[in-house]
Amino acid sequence: MEIRKVKGNTFCIDTGMTYIPFYKINNEDIIMMDSGWAGGEREEIDELLEKNNFKVAGIICSHAHIDHIGNVAYFKKKYNCIIAMSAYEALICSSTTNLKVYYSSQTLSYVTEHFGHMVCKTDIMIWDNQDSINVCGIEFKILHTPGHSPAHICITTPDDVGYVGDALISYKVMKGAKMPYAFILKEDLRSKEKLYNLKCSKYVVAHKGMYSDITNLITDNIDFYKNRAAKVYDAIDGAMTMEEIMKTVIKKWNISVKSRYKYAIIERMLRSYVEYLNDTGRIKLIMEDGFLKYIK
Ligand SMILES: [Zn+2]
């Protein structure tokens, strides 16, 4: 794990898996953009910050996924830092009961045990009509890019560095991803289009890229997700239930599903592609023999 300079006072922590950008207010105080994953990254991020004598003054969250907000509550407790997040996602992770909106197929006790550490208190709610926020006296620009998650945002630092979070994935991730996640794929693709108008001098993609120009990356991301949707379309033969589509996709794409957790993730991932095909009129949802089935 190391710190890399992006531009001016904007740096990022390279966790190996993720870039976590931060903005240096002065030699000591920093504002992080996301906080990393608790499971595999907390200890090392913590150590790295301490080694550099950094204190977390604020955290602006791109979205409330486990690998992005995993350490928010931890740092809030340690540094009493200001937390800013889009209002809807802030409400989702304000309690385990609300978190169940994300993990609807899991029981409340499972959610509490595995995702309870995501519960945090947000100080600054970012509303849909806001295109900037002030955290610790520093102004950041906000671009609303819903789709990957319900209220995902991109954050631009005063150095004109655009952090696009998970609104885009890098080429390396595209190479390895069988089914990249979107909460609502149709919205996500619209948000990706929006990014053509985000003019910054540098861009940081959470998993994991740094670019001076993202025009081609946006086009390639859009093509990649659409191509995955086309592959799901190819897997649909006759009238199939969601579970039957899932069974076919798991087998065809050689996806290993060995835990309840993985099953739930794959199901959520697949659902957004199936819904996208339904949303765009390529498949229909019908009722057959008392079951909901998808048909071309
Ligand atoms: Zn995410």
Q: Express each pLDDT in 224-244 by its tens digit.
A: 999 999 999 999 999 999 999
pLDDT tops 90 at residue 72: yes
Rounded to the nearest whole angstrom, what is the distance from the C-alpha of residue 229 to the centroid of ligand 1? 19
Q: Are 255 and 246 in contact (CB under 8 A)?
A: no
Rounded to the nearest whole angstrom, what is the distance from the C-alpha of residue 180 to the centroid of ligand 1? 10
pLDDT digits (tens, 9 = 90+) for 153-196: 999 999 999 999 999 999 999 998 888 999 999 999 999 999 99
Rounded to the nearest whole angstrom, what is the distance from the C-alpha of residue 166 to the centroid of ligand 1? 5
What pLDDT shows up at residue 213? Answer: 97
What pLDDT shows up at residue 224? Answer: 96
Give the tokens for residue 283.
């498949």
- Of 35-49, 78-92, 251-265, least confident by mean pLDDT is 251-265
* Mean residue pLDDT across the chain: 95
What pLDDT shows up at residue 264? Answer: 85
Rounded to the nearest whole angstrom, what is the distance from the C-alpha of residue 145 to the centroid of ligand 1? 12
What pLDDT shows up at residue 79? Answer: 97
Q: What is the Cα Rg of the chain in Å? A: 20
What pLDDT shows up at residue 124? Answer: 97
What pLDDT shows up at residue 177? Answer: 86
Cβ neighbours for 296, distance < 8 A, ≥ 6 positions apart: 233, 236, 282, 283, 284
Rounded to the nearest whole angstrom, what is the distance from the C-alpha of residue 39 to the centroid of ligand 1? 15
- Residue range 26-55: mean pLDDT, rounded: 96
Burial (CB < 10 A; 0-12, 13-18, 19+), residue 258, is exposed
pLDDT tops 90 at residue 197: yes
What pLDDT shows up at residue 272? Answer: 94
What pLDDT shows up at residue 25? Answer: 98
What pLDDT shows up at residue 12? Answer: 97
What pLDDT shows up at residue 172? Answer: 93
What pLDDT shows up at residue 166? Answer: 97
Rounded to the nearest whole angstrom, what is the distance from the C-alpha of residue 161 to the centroid of ligand 1? 20
Give the tokens for residue 67.
């690998």
Rounded to the nearest whole angstrom, what is the distance from the C-alpha of residue 5 to the centroid of ligand 1? 23
Total-model pTM: 0.93
Distance between CA 65 and CA 62 in Å, rounded? 9
Rounded to the nearest whole angstrom, what is the distance from the C-alpha of residue 63 to the centroid of ligand 1? 7
In this structure, how many other beta carbons lie within 10 angstroms of the beta carbon of residue 249? 22
Rounded to the nearest whole angstrom, what is the distance from the C-alpha of residue 26 to the centroid of ligand 1? 29
Rounded to the nearest whole angstrom, what is the distance from the C-alpha of residue 286 to the centroid of ligand 1? 31
Rounded to the nearest whole angstrom, what is the distance from the C-alpha of residue 238 to the centroid of ligand 1? 33
Place 102 in a pLDDT band, splitting at 50, 70 and 90. Answer: confident
What pLDDT shows up at residue 61? Answer: 98
% pLDDT > 70, the chain: 100
Place 37 in a pLDDT band, splitting at 50, 70 and 90. Answer: very high
Rounded to the nearest whole angstrom, what is the distance from the C-alpha of residue 288 to the centroid of ligand 1? 35
Rounded to the nearest whole angstrom, what is the distance from the C-alpha of residue 243 to the centroid of ligand 1? 24
What pLDDT shows up at residue 105? Answer: 82
Residue carrying structure tokens 């990649």: 224
Rounded to the nearest whole angstrom, what is the distance from the C-alpha of residue 237 to the centroid of ligand 1? 31
